[in-house]
């Protein structure tokens, strides 16, 4: 596929500065891109990359363009837009469109006679679809994916190889489950009883809203009695654990290695950075930012940013960290003062 600079500008509303007939054949990384591959930059730290990159065409802001050398302005073509990253995403979709749905059920798939598969869905080889399950229009179930019994999957979902949706779970429209994702495994519930651990039956389900994405090898446990719910637009990275009966709102971001203990409630538009975790039975408001490796042990109101263990306001955490870095110096000064005080006391005694 090919696009001219003028065609790209029409797609993303950018202003061309340079050769509007320049032909773009792909998109790439600034260090390795071919001269006719489009790149983007949205921050000052990329100025040097723009100057030295083999790429001859860029999506950038007006501010970055103004800071470039005249040599680059004269020799390269630029597409000026306030949001070059967003524009770049739009162009990437043109050069790398999603694969078309190949409607039909592969002869090596197993689909229970009582399952309902939309005629436009694609069921790949070695897929399992259980009894009374429903697969919506335009869905793609890749090789080796598993859908249990009494499952409902909406339209235009993509279930990658090895992903699993277990019994009674509900998946909305345009959901993506990456390889190894497991939706609906048992919650971790046991009661000490007569010298052993008595398993608590997990009879709830998992409900995923529209446009949810679940990364590789992430797990979302079903509820004990009620349901585990993930709101629309929430994006879950690889290797994330969501415990039973968690209720997660809309458009949240959960980065890799995040762990939410059971019965955690999260509002909308929250960010959980890598390796952050919560204690169970907590309520977290909306627009909350939780830093990497943060341990949340108490409820959090909306519109706060926390970091550390235990979780504390970011400004307080940074002040405390600055003090920690000074501890060796403080310790040396304390030893000097102790020696001075001891020497004075010895002199007075003598």
At residue 341, the pLDDT reads 87
At residue 85, the pLDDT reads 95
Residue 98 has pLDDT above 70, yes or no: yes
Other beta carbons within 10 angstroms of residue 124's beta carbon come to 19
> Are both 29 and 78 inside the same structural domain?
yes
Residue 342 has pLDDT above 90, yes or no: no
Distance CA(230)–CA(235), nearest Å, equals 9
Residue 347 has pLDDT above 70, yes or no: no
CATH number of the domain bearing residue 18: 3.40.1390.10
> Are both 280 and 216 inside the same structural domain?
yes
> Are both 15 and 148 inside the same structural domain?
no
Domain that holds residue 336: 323-349
Task: Indicate the pairing of strand 190-193 with strand 196-199.
Answer: antiparallel
> Are both 118 and 151 inside the same structural domain?
yes
How much of the chain, in percent, has pLDDT values that exceed 90?
93
> Are both 141 and 261 inside the same structural domain?
yes
> Are both 128 and 265 inside the same structural domain?
yes
Catalytic residue ranges: 244
> Are both 288 and 156 inside the same structural domain?
yes
pLDDT in tens, 311-324: 999 999 999 999 98
> Are both 26 and 162 inside the same structural domain?
no
At residue 349, the pLDDT reads 63
Domain count, the chain: 3
> Are both 179 and 240 inside the same structural domain?
yes
Q: Whose CA is closest to 58, among 93, 29, 95?
A: 29
Distance CA(141)–CA(161), nearest Å, equals 8
Type and span of the H or E element at 338? helix 327-349
Q: Whose CA is closest to 47, among 66, 32, 33, 29?
A: 66
Q: Which of 74, 95, 116 is the last residue of a domain?
A: 95
> Are both 157 and 246 inside the same structural domain?
yes
**What pTM, to 2 d.p., does this model score?**
0.90
* 127: confidence class by pLDDT, cuts 50, 70, 90: very high
Distance CA(49)–CA(36), nearest Å, equals 16
> Are both 44 and 133 inside the same structural domain?
no
């Amino acid at each position: 596929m090919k696009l001219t600079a003028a065609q790209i500008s029409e797609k993303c509303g950018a202003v061309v500065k340079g050769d509007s007939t320049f032909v773009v054949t792909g998109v790439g990384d600034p260090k390795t891109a071919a001269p006719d591959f489009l790149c983007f930059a949205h921050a000052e730290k990329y100025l040097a990359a723009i100057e030295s990159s083999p790429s001859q065409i860029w999506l950038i802001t007006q501010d970055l363009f103004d800071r470039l050398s005249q040599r680059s302005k004269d020799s390269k073509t630029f597409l000026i837009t306030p949001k070059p990253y967003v524009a770049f995403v739009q162009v990437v979709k043109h050069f790398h469109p999603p694969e078309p749905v190949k409607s039909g059920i592969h002869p090596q798939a197993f689909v229970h006679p009582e399952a309902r598969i939309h005629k436009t869905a694609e069921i790949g080889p070695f897929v399992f679809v259980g009894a009374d399950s429903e697969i919506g229009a335009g869905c793609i179930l890749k090789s080796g994916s598993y859908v249990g019994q009494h499952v409902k999957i909406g339209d235009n979902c993509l279930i990658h190889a090895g992903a699993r949706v277990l019994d009674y779970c509900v998946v909305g429209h345009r959901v993506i489950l990456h390889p190894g994702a497991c939706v609906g495994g048992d919650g971790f519930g046991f009661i000490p009883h007569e010298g052993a651990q008595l398993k608590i039956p997990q009879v709830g389900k998992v409900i995923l809203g529209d446009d949810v994405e679940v990364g590789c090898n992430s797990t979302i446990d079903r509820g004990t009695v009620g349901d585990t719910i993930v709101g629309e637009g929430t994006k879950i990275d690889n290797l994330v654990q969501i415990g039973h009966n968690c209720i997660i709102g809309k458009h949240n971001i959960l980065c890799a290695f995040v762990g939410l203990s059971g019965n955690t409630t999260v509002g909308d538009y929250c960010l959980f950075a890598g390796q952050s975790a919560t204690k169970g039975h907590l309520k977290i408001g909306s627009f909350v930012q939780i830093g990497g490796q943060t341990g949340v042990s108490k409820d959090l109101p909306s519109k706060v940013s926390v970091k550390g263990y235990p979780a504390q306001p970011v400004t307080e955490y940074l002040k405390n960290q600055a003090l920690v870095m000074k501890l060796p110096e403080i310790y040396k000064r304390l030893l000097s003062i102790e020696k001075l005080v001891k020497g004075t006391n010895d002199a007075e005694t003598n």
